[in-house]
Each structure stands twice: as structure tokens, then as C-alpha cells.
Amino acid sequence: MSSTRTLIERFSEVHPLPQVVTTLNRLIADPESTMKDFEEVISLDQVLVSRLLRLVNSSYYSLLQRVDSISRAVAFLGMKNLHNLAVTDALRRIFTASTDGSERFSRKRLWMHSTAVAICCRMVAERMFSMNGDDAFICGVLHDFGLLVEEQGKRKVFHEICRSCSSSSELLLLEQQTFATDHCQIGALLTEDWQMGPEIQQAIRDHHLLTEEIIPESLTGILQIAEYLSSQVERSVLPGVEAIIAPPLLTHLQENIEEYAVLLEDMPEEMARAEAIYH
């Protein structure tokens, strides 16, 4: 835990989470929060207001009347959608900061991987399990955030690890040997600090856990499935790195292969729609 906390503190000194996001995290965790509370927080960030209004008036929703007020936009989207938009917008700036293009690992590639997994998470939750996909989406955005923390804190050795690993399991093992922690544990502790829900924390902590106990409809199961599917369309976190999932999830995929084939066919269109919103 001390190794994990040290890396997080070093990262947070350079990349603090914007105040609007930390406040929204607190509000989403508080069952007494109201739409009015969210509106007041959002109104303080004009960039987020612009993104919010652009989203609600986009072809994604195809509304008959234009929405020009924050209150109507917040009421239409709902608190979780709004929260996810704010978190994604804030993290995008960190993910896409310039990095050395000669390295196997790049923040841009990680962002593309994370957004693909997030979109796939939402699709799996909604299509396969008839669940609200908001929590699944934010799990996808955040699941590999710990890799950025490691790169920031131990850049040279981190890139050495990335150059040498060939699978997600090997990546995890090398992280644990080198840092006495891994990106799953870092991500779980970060989401706890950010007051994300316990199921989100658990999914991020266990998204490389290969046990028989993981069930497909859990957030952990959905996240593992989405990461596996994303690697099938060449959106892996590192080039050539094989994604490995828990045995019950592989069985579930095989038993529902036709439905997942359709889902994969629809992914490019869903990603194109999301790109206009989240870049």
C-alpha cells in the first residue's frame, strides 16, 4: 500500500484532478444531492458548460427543440451522465499529453484503448445484460489509469517493462516485481480517493483477476469482456499484447458468440458517435 500511495501522491502533485470533478464525485456519492447542486457546480466551468450543451444538442440525441440552459441540459442527461462527461473531459487532457512517439507505450494509444473499452463496456452492459451502462462506461475510462501514474513516477523503468511484456498477465507480474504494486491497485485506490462507488473500485482492482468466481454481469466481468473485445479490434493498451480473461467469461463469450459478433460490428459506429462528444 505504501508503494501505491507514494506513486499516487507523486502523480497528483503534477496532475491534480480539477476541482469541478472532485466536487461532482462528492455529489454523485451523496444520495441527498439534487440536480440543482450539479447545475451550480457545472456553471462554474465554462468549458464544461459548452461541452454539455453541445452534447445535448448533438445528433446523438436528435432533440426536436434546442436546449440552451444548463438546468434543462442537466435534467435531460441526468447526474451520472453529467458526471461521466466531466470526468472523461478532465482525464482526456492528462491522457493525451505529449509523449515520445518512439516508445511502445504512448498516452495517446492508452486513451484510444480506454475509450474503446469504455464504449464497449456500455454496449455490453446495455445490450447483453439490460443494465444502465453509466458505471460500466466510467470503469472503462479509468481501468488503466494506474499506468499513467506509474509512467509519471518511474518513467524509465516503466517503459522498460512495456517494451518487454507480451501479455496482460506478464505486464502485471513485472509491475508487481518492480513497483511492489500494479496499475490495478493504483487505479482502485485512486477511485477510492475520488469517491467513486465501491463496485467501480472493485472492477478496476480486479480487471486482470483470472478466477472462476467472476460472473459476466458484474462490473468486473463486463470490464474484462470489453477489454478482451477491444483487443480483437486492435485497440489493445500495447501493440501485440494479448488480453486474457477469466474462464467463466470466455465460456460466456462462446455461448453468446452471435450476439457479440453483432456488437463488434457496431463498435466502429458507436466509437465515431462518442468521438464527437469525448474526442
Report the pLDDT averaged over residues 15-23: 76
- Please tell me the total count of domains within the chain: 1
pTM over 0.75: yes
Q: What is the percent of the chain where pLDDT is above 90?
A: 42
CATH number of residue 213's parent domain: 1.10.3210.10
Alpha helix positions (H), the chain: 2-14, 19-29, 35-42, 46-56, 70-77, 79-95, 107-123, 129, 134-142, 145-153, 155-164, 168-179, 183-193, 198-205, 219-232, 247-255, 257-278
With a cut of 80, say whether residue 213 has pLDDT above it. yes
CA atoms of 191 and 186, how far apart (whole Å)? 9
Classify the C-alpha dihedral 74-79-83-85 as positive or negative.
Answer: negative
What would the pLDDT profile of 100-153 be if each residue is shown by its tens digit?
Answer: 555 789 888 898 899 899 999 999 999 999 999 989 999 999 999 999 999 988
In the numeric block, which cell numbers belong to residue 204? 478496476
Sole residue written with cell 486482470: 208
Could you list the residue range(s) of the whole structural domain that residue 232 is in? 2-278
Report the pLDDT averaged over residues 177-198: 92
What would the pLDDT profile of 150-165 be if each residue is shown by its tens digit?
Answer: 998 899 999 999 998 8
